[in-house]
Copies of this chain bind each other. A is one copy, B any other.
Amino acid sequence: MNPISPHTGTPGVNLPALRGHNAALVLDLLRSAGEEGISRLELAEWTGLTPQAVSKIVGRLRDEGLAAEAGRRASTGGKPRTVLRLAPEAGHAVGIHLDRDALVAVLMDLSGAVVAERAAPLDLGAGSDAVLTAVAREVDALTAVRESVLGVGVALPGPLDHRGGVLHQVTGFPEWDGFPLRDALAERLGAPVVVDKDTNAAALGLALARPSGGGSFAYLHLGTGLGAGLVLSGALYRGDRTGAGEFGHQVLQLDGARCSCGNRGCIEALCLEAVASGELARAARVLGEGAANLVGLLDIDLVLLGGRTVERAPEIFVRGVSDVVRGRARSTVEVPVRQAEGGGRLVAEGAAQLVLAPLFGRANVAFPANRN
CB distance from A341 to the nearest CB of B (A): 19
Q: Find out whether the CB atom of A214 lies under 8 angstroms from the CB atom of B240.
A: yes
Q: Say whether A293 faces chain B, with CB atoms less than 8 Å apart.
A: yes
Q: Contact mask A12-52 → B, CB, 8 Å, 1/0?
A: 11110010011001001100000000000010011111000
A127 within 8 A of B: no
A242 within 8 A of B: yes
Measured in the bound complex, the distance between the Cα atoms of B9 and A102 in whole Å is 38
CB of A218, distance to nearest CB on chain B (Å): 10
A243–B296 CB distance below 8 A: yes
Contacts A244-B297, A293-B251, A299-B241; is A45 near B12 (CB within 8 Å)?
Answer: no
Cα–Cα, bound, A251→B45 (Å):
44
For A28, A228, A297, the residue with the greatest tally of chain B CB atoms inside 10 Å of its CB is: A297
A224-239 contacts to B (CB < 8 Å): 228, 232-233, 237-239
A261 in contact (CB, < 8 A) = yes
Give the interface size bracket for A toward B: 35 or more
Asked whether, in the complex, the Cβ of A48 is within 8 Å of the Cβ of B213, the reply is no
Q: Which residues of B contact A293 (CB under 8 A)?
A: 250-251, 293
Residue of B with least CB distance to A294: B297
Give how many copies assemble into the complex. 2
Q: Give Cα A228 to B298, complex, Å.
A: 11
* A251-B289 contact given A9-B46, A213-B9, CB 8 Å threshold: yes
Given known A-B contacts A251-B289, A253-B254, A239 and B299 have beta carbons under 8 A apart: yes
4 nearest interchain CB pairs? Answer: A239-B299, A12-B47, A243-B299, A6-B45
Report 23 cross-chain contacts, Cβ distance below 8 Å, ordered by A residue.
Answer: A3-B212, A7-B45, A7-B46, A9-B46, A10-B28, A11-B47, A12-B21, A12-B22, A12-B49, A13-B18, A14-B49, A159-B331, A214-B240, A216-B239, A233-B237, A238-B299, A239-B298, A239-B299, A243-B331, A252-B253, A253-B253, A254-B289, A297-B297
